Chains A and B, each alone.
Chain A
């Protein structure tokens, strides 16, 4: 079972991204679950969101305390929030980070494991003109996890955003996912 813990800040769309990944897994015929750690919903406050994807029905409802993937939507959380807590030995880190995975490794002091980076803030500014990093990071997670195909993720993003904001916003977000997917580097 893939257990992802997303770290972001209120207003960055971590909840939406985690839910879109889960719903995309429906298109994959998989079982899934996504839910945030509900607190006082303040813009800018650190938030955690959880996604589980599995071939079997998901039976656990606990928070994810031993994730095998962590996703960091906001590079400023690094060093301020214990994002790597409980990360499994073979866990994966996917971060919104301007440098290479190797530079991230040094910054975070992570040993072993696999690291992926993408400048999600940059991608968001280029594709959408706003520093909302959730859809670019969804692209990076799809690349790093392979849990769903890029097409399934794009279909879901288009579906969710068209519903809420219309086709123009939807296409900008689709583009953000695609570009981030391409630009994600791993090592």
Chain B
């Protein structure tokens, strides 16, 4: 057990999330180990072995089977969780769509890791970015505390009667998953009453009200089902915010659809996900000390993407740099840049925008890298310096 004082513990990001899973007490967990996710499941399986949780734990033979088992159990009415990374998420690919299409409120932890090739175990966001269109709600977390908190909130969001969609909770592999930090825990009983029990509107095991799931729907009904899925996603911002508000009242930790740092009067804004946004705060403080109006916007919910609010929040800035820890080779920037740039389209006065690709395969992002991005933004606003949209940060031979 982790070192503990009152309700603060010293744990790795993964161990913190495993604690959240212990408190959630899911009915079924099916998972397959993969670095850097492994110790989430390893720790959790210890709780199962000790009898701390009543969970049916299925150590399956692959991620494809893991998520398939989750879909079955969720359709039967169980509260279901799984965890993966990188190739594991890629291997779940076809089942991701099945989980969303069958409206299974599964909660998945995805510890962000680069995809092969070359083989790499370190952090980038290419794994979950590739699944943006799969119909899952996606939450991105900057640190272990947010990972823990979001895991608990995800259960409520997924199972809400207006939503019934799977939720993916993402945080940075190794950087957050394996670093040890201080985590403030919610009491076991408080978590239990916050999440309540799952009340599925339909269940395969409800013999009184028989249903079938995973049916054929061709040209006749497929599109109606998909339209309803989109409708559920449309309700998600309201539900996410309600759940986050309630969680904030319980814990004092408040979350939004996105987080801003010194953004209100900022001229130069960096948009980045996860731990990099946190690291960038130090640089912003430094620049503010020198009179440079720097700020940060960190999207927390990538699906549903709060594009109108983000566009509004960026409307005042003179120049915006979106940092992507993933590529979309041949696309109009990285995945996050594509989202942000499209959001800005509706604005009457748009800020200048550039897109930095950084940190692929775990390449460390240094303060000096972040400083260089703000430097680029200032030059861009003054109409000098490089004007290309996409650039690479911290790479050789550029």
Are these two chains actual partners, yes or no? yes
Q: How far is the CA of A61 from the CA of B175 in the complex (A)?
A: 7
A59 near B: Cβ within 8 Å? Answer: yes
Known: A59-B282, A61-B275, A61-B278. A27 touches B181 (CB 8 A): no
Bound CA span A65–B368, Å: 11
Instruction: Tell me the nearest residue of chain B to A33, going by C-beta.
Output: B181
Which interface class (under 10, 10 to 19, 20 to 34, 35 or more) fits A? 20 to 34
Residues from chain A with Cβ under 8 Å of B143 in the complex: 61
Q: Which residues of A contact B362 (CB under 8 A)?
A: 38
> B176 to chain A: which residues have CB within 8 Å?
61
Q: Mark B133-149, 1 if CB is under 8 A from A, else 0.
A: 00000000001000000
Point out the residues of chain A lying under 8 angstroms from B180, CB to CB: 19, 22-23, 32-35
Interface residue? B239 (CB, 8 A): no
Q: Is A58 an interface residue, CB under 8 A from the partner? A: yes
> Which residues of A from 153 to 187 have beta carbons under 8 Å from B?
156, 159-160, 163
How far apart are the CA atoms of A24 and B174 in the complex, in Å? 21
Chain B residue, CB-CB nearest to A40 = B121
B178 contacts across to A, CB distance below 8 A:
35-36, 38
Bound: A48/B279 CA distance, A: 20
Name B5's contact: one of A19, A27, A34, A62 (CB within 8 Å). A27
A residues near B281, Cβ cutoff 8 Å: 59
The total of chain B residues at the interface (CB under 8 A) is 31
One of A27, A35, A65 near B3 (C-beta < 8 A): A27
- Is A159 a contact partner of B3 (Cβ separation < 8 A)? yes
Give which listed residue, A22, A38, A59, A163, contacts B278 with CB less than 8 A. A59
- B121's nearest neighbour on chain A, judged by CB, is A38
Check if A62 sits within 8 Å of B1, measured CB to CB.
no
Chain A min CB distance to B356 (Å): 16
The answer to the question of B367 belonging to the interface, with a C-beta cut-off of 8 Å to chain A, is: yes
User: Which residue from chain A places its CB closest to the CB of B122 in the assembled complex?
Assistant: A38
Main secondary structure of the interface of B (DSSP, over half): mixed
Residues on the A chain within 8 Å of B235, using CB: none
Partner of B10, one of A26, A58, A60, A163: A26
Give Cα distance in the complex from A63 to B58, angstroms. 37
Q: Is A31 an interface residue (CB 8 A)?
A: yes
CA distance A19 to B9 in the complex (A): 13
**Assembled-state Cα–Cα distance A117/B129 (Å):** 49
List residues of chain B with CB within 8 A of the CB of A163: 1
- Chain A residues near B366: list those with CB within 8 A: 62-63, 65
- How many A-B residue pairs lie within 8 Å, measured between CB atoms? 72
A2-32 interface bits toward B, Cβ cutoff 8 Å, 1 = contact, 0 = none: 0000000000000000010011101101011
Taken together as a complex, chains A and B put the C-alpha atoms of A159 and B122 apart, in Å, by 30
Taking the closest CB of chain B, its distance from the CB of A54, in whole angstroms, is 10
Q: Which residue of B lies closest to A31 (CB)?
A: B182
Name the A residues within 8 Å of B174 (CB-CB): 35, 38
Q: Provide the residues of chain B in CB contact with A29, threshold 8 Å.
A: 5
Determine the residue in chain B with the shortest Cβ distance to A30: B182
Q: How far is the CA of A19 from the CA of B182 in the complex (A)?
A: 11
A62 to B2, CA, bound (A): 24
B10 touches A32 (CB 8 A): yes
The answer to whether B3 touches A62 (Cβ under 8 A) is no
Least CB distance, B274 to chain A, in whole angstroms: 9
The interface residues of chain A lying within 8 Å CB-to-CB of B378 are none
Q: Are A60 and B1 in contact (CB under 8 A)?
A: no
Known: A23-B3, A62-B365, A65-B366. A34 touches B179 (CB 8 A): yes
B55 touches A (CB below 8 Å): no
B364 at the interface (CB under 8 A from A): yes
Residue ID in chain A nearest B367 by CB atoms: A62
Q: Does B8 contact A (CB under 8 A)?
A: yes
Interface centre among A24, A60, A65, A163 (most CB of B within 10 A): A60
1/0 contact string of B357-373 vs chain A (CB within 8 Å): 00000101111000000
Q: How far is the CB of B147 from chain A (nearest CB, A)?
A: 13
**Given A38-B174, A65-B366, CB of A26 within 8 Å of CB of B182:** yes
Residues on the A chain within 8 Å of B181, using CB: 22, 31-33, 58
Asked if residues B8 and A26 are in contact (CB atoms below 8 Å), the reply is yes
Q: Find chain B residues with CB under 8 A from A63 CB.
A: 364, 366
A62 touches which of B4, B121, B279 (Cβ 8 Å): B279
Interface: B172 (CB within 8 A): yes
Q: Which of B5, B172, B180 has the most CB of A within 10 A?
A: B180
> What B residues does A22 contact at CB under 8 A?
10, 180-181
- A61 B276 Cβ-Cβ under 8 A: yes
- 30 of the cross-chain contacts (CB-CB < 8 Å) are A19-B10, A22-B180, A23-B2, A23-B3, A26-B5, A26-B8, A27-B3, A27-B5, A29-B5, A31-B182, A32-B10, A32-B181, A33-B181, A35-B180, A38-B122, A38-B178, A59-B278, A59-B281, A59-B282, A60-B279, A61-B143, A61-B176, A61-B179, A61-B275, A61-B278, A62-B279, A62-B365, A62-B366, A156-B3, A160-B3
